[in-house]
Structure 1
Amino acid sequence: SGGEDTFNTTLQAVATADVINKRFNKKLNKITKKYYYIKKTEAYILLSGGTNSLTALLAKQTDVLFNGISVGSYARKIIKDLVDSDAFYEKEIIRNASLIAGKLVNGNIT
């Protein structure tokens, strides 16, 4: 993913979850030709690979349910300068890194 914060970057993670949902967590209404979620979840989904601050928003916009989001490259990228700092272990630097990462986490809670 390269740690980019775009819809295109996270599209594959959400699209993969949609495929899994349609196989395990949804049924097709043969009359309306629309999918609906079944009551009992068969497969729990953790979105990963290309996730960023837009992942939950895209999933919500496309009615793709998920149980969690892993954040990797993008999360590391947004706090890299702080983590690489010689003063990283000072309270203020750690607090700043925590606030930045916290915004990413909170932004992906639906």
Structure 2
Amino acid sequence: MGSFPSILTNVPLYWPKAEFSLFVLGQILSIPCYFFVAYHIIFEKSARKALHNHVIIILLFYNFLGVTFDLSLTLDRDRVGYVSLFSPTLCRFWQLVDNGIWYG
């Protein structure tokens, strides 16, 4: 339509699959880390009673939602090119996780 060159002209053909694989690997490796940190904060009595750890627990919960739900749907959309599991309820929940948690 326009005469602008494509942004992806210098990107090798293997790069989108490599990028997707690196993101998925990082996502898979981060999930046990979330469980490990949450387990030690919740089940260690002195850490659980410390008031400053309550904020950490809330942040862990919100970021875990972001990594497991938002990042998974975003990676799938980037891989396929469209939202494959489209439903109004899913889109509303995705908007809540993506925007509602961070912006109030």
TM-score in same-fold range (> 0.5): no
Which of the two has higher C-alpha Rg? 2
Which of the pair has the greater relative contact order for Cα pairs under 8 Å at 6+ separation? 1
Q: TM-score, normalised by structure 2?
A: 0.32
The TM-score normalised by the length of structure 1 is 0.31
Structure with greater helix share of residues:
2
More strand by share: 1
